Chain A
Amino acid sequence: MNNRLQPTSLICIILSDAYKVIWILALTITALTSCEKSLLKPDPGSEPLVIFEQLWNDVNNRYSYFELKNIQWDTIGTHYQSKISNTMNEKELFEVLGNMLYELKDGHVNLTSDFNRSRHWEWFLNYPDNYDHNQIERYYLKNNHYITGPLLNQIIDSMLYVNYRSFTDNVTQSHMDELMGRAEGLKGVIIDIRHNGGGSLQNAYTIASSLVDTPTVFAQQRFKKGPGKNEFTSWERMVIKPRDGKRFTGPIVLLTNRRSYSASSFFAQMLRAIPHATLIGDHAGGGGGVPVFGELSNGWTYRFSASQTITPEGDHIELLVPVDIQVNMSAYHERRNIDTIIETALEHIKSITLSPL
């Protein structure tokens, strides 16, 4: 029998049920393939009033410090909504929304567009600078200091001075092994986080775990869990757990200033909970709320605090973390290339190691 396909049989196949099925399949797939996007609702508009509503609502639902700061967000919303019109341009809209967010008085609140970033920086701008990195590099770290990962360190008068610029720079266990090895047998350790604006809390834990022998509760934290002003999760303890490797449990001094913010303030609070640590300098700037991020339908992004952190005594660390010995840089010392705060720390450790047990 001849198996070759004849034209008449081809027509029969095309008209057969089988091919009807294939055509139905092809049409179904074509229809579905084009509808992945169209089966979702279209993006909302980006008119100024829509943008205002999106931002105001998310802050209203998830911001965590209305009560602590006594902020009347409804009143603020009414005030700024009256300044919004759909005829304003994007820079005018940005200015109004940035001013509205400024009312939260929170360093963790920003509105970011391609052309600008709104911010609240009064938590450090209204206070003395208390830090001169150039002076520290030349007269304290000097040319022969160690650079252990992000930790610049130098031995000064039998004490280890460690300068950490940003908690965004990762500290590893091997960095800590090296640092703890250097600190072995020394009188004390000075950790300088002045002007350190924060970053990853994990780095704070990594360093602090080298400074304790037992698990140490340093704070409690809770997160928003619903839109109500007081809808929070239960308070959960934050604990420093000692690391397995080398540790230093001699005298420790932490240097802070008002620009020590966010993860730096958490680290300052960690050291407040360690009995053999002393905080010297100016109070850390606070920032105890972990920021959550969001996006508006015009592509701008924003962030704001969505959690609260308190000390074991119940004090919020949002506004500041207090030092034990408050010292400002002296102009007299600065002219002589002396860092008043480092000198106070060196003297403090000397006084501890000289005093009888």
Chain B
Amino acid sequence: MLIYLKHIILFLILAAGLHIFSASASDKKRDLHISYPGIRFNAERDFAYSPLMYSGVQGSFAISYSVIKSNTSDLVFLNYTSGNNTNKFGSIMQVVTAGIQTYKFYHRMQETGNGFCLGWSNNNEFNTREVEDVRNFNNRNEYFTSFGPAIRYRYPFIVLNRQVHFQTLAHLQLLGFKLQSSYVTSLPPGFQESNTKGFRKFLNSIELFYPGSGLNVGIQPTLMYELKSGNGLSISYRYDYLNIKGPHNVEKSRGTWSVGIITAL
């Protein structure tokens, strides 16, 4: 029964993810937003290895692509972060995070999309970490894909005859799937079984992501300054909190600063 439920919800999540970012012929404005190496302030704890918090500053890179249409806006956001965390005794943990997040906002009544808009977000994130000096079952990992409400606030204003946009995105992930290292080994549970193959291993490994088994919430205020050419500059801060319950709980609290260039396409 559970396996069928997993199939159905997996299909719904994928369909929703595709729907969230679906371009159409009525596109009005397309932007490519490249965030140059930013810095991420990261604090996390993986109870599979230690009750201690590991924290540090990592390098971060992000690209986003947005399409504003007559009554909807789409945004896809790719990010990659890598670097070291340490605990209070100086032990080192290497962490890598990669993610793709999509947003879709509805602004039927106001073509510009300014003010508050409601919408949806689909977040896909993969995290891996290695603790120095641990020789077995290193590379603890988790992956989740989830879906939940999002809100955007856009406020345009003029400074020194230039258009400036203040924008804040916020999301709360409610329903999806997660895949994480097993109770002891690095591999998810289904991948330890030799009598199952391919997609079945994946299905046997995934678990539902729902309030109580996982929480991901984030906010990203951005200030965008428009240049004469129609391109722009931006400064952004993205904070997000992740808590995944499983064989061993994992929690992360992260804030990323970045500056970027916005290219009108």
**Interface of A with B (CB < 8 Å)?**
3, 5, 13, 16-18, 21-22, 25, 28-29, 32-33, 35-37, 39-44, 54, 62, 223-226, 233-234, 236-237, 290-297, 299, 301, 306-307
Contacts and interface: CB of A to CB of B under 8 A. Distances in A.
B161 interface: yes
B182 interface: yes
Contacts of A42: 53
A18 B41 contact: no
Residue among A29, A41, A42 with the most chain B CB within 10 A? Answer: A29
Given A35-B255, A43-B51, 10 more contacts: A13-B159, A25-B223, A35-B253, A41-B45, A43-B52, A62-B184, A225-B189, A293-B136, A295-B52, A301-B133
25 contacts: A3-B161, A5-B160, A13-B159, A18-B164, A21-B155, A21-B166, A25-B166, A25-B168, A28-B221, A36-B55, A36-B254, A39-B43, A43-B53, A44-B51, A62-B183, A223-B182, A223-B185, A223-B192, A225-B183, A225-B189, A234-B195, A293-B131, A293-B133, A299-B52, A299-B89
Contacts of B253: 35-37, 39-40
Contact of A294 (B50, B158, B189, B192): B50
A21 B55 CA distance: 31
Interface string B76-111: 000000000001110100000000000000000000
A299 B91 CA distance: 8
A32 B52 contact: no
B135 interface: yes
Nearest to B157: A18
Nearest to A29: B237
B194 A40 contact: no
Contacts, number: 123
A236 B43 contact: no
A39 B43 CA distance: 9
B43 A36 contact: yes
A33 B43 CA distance: 12
B42 interface: yes
A16 B157 CA distance: 10
Interface in B184-227: 184-185, 189, 192-195, 219, 221, 223
B237 A32 contact: yes
B136 A297 contact: no
Nearest to B187: A223
Interface string B150-193: 00000101111100101010000000000000111100010011
Residue among B49, B134, B136 with the most chain A CB within 10 A? Answer: B136
A3 to B, nearest CB: 7
B137 interface: yes
A179 B135 CA distance: 28
A108 to B, nearest CB: 10
B136 A290 contact: yes
Contacts of A307: 184
B239 interface: yes
Contacts of B116: none
A43 B195 CA distance: 41
Contacts of A62: 183-184
A193 to B, nearest CB: 19
Interface in B245-261: 247, 251, 253-255, 257
Nearest to B238: A32
B184 A225 contact: yes
Interface string B11-47: 0000000000000000000000000000001111100
Contacts of A41: 45
A341 to B, nearest CB: 30
B167 to A, nearest CB: 10
Given A18-B159, A32-B219, A236 B255 contact: no
Contact of B194 (A16, A43, A237): A237
B182 A225 contact: yes
Given A25-B166, A307-B184, A291 B136 contact: yes
A71 B157 CA distance: 72
A297 B52 contact: yes
B241 interface: yes
B91 A295 contact: yes
Nearest to B137: A292
A42 B253 CA distance: 13
Contacts of B237: 29, 32-33
8 nearest A-B pairs in the assembled complex, by CB-CB distance: A18-B157, A299-B89, A295-B50, A293-B134, A37-B43, A39-B253, A32-B239, A306-B184
Contacts of B192: 223, 233, 236
Nearest to B237: A29
A315 B138 CA distance: 28
Contacts of B219: 32
Contact of B135 (A37, A224, A293, A295): A293
Residue among A3, A25, A224 with the most chain B CB within 10 A? Answer: A25
A223 B50 contact: no
Contacts of B159: 13, 18
A5 B158 CA distance: 14
Contact of B41 (A22, A33, A54, A236): A33
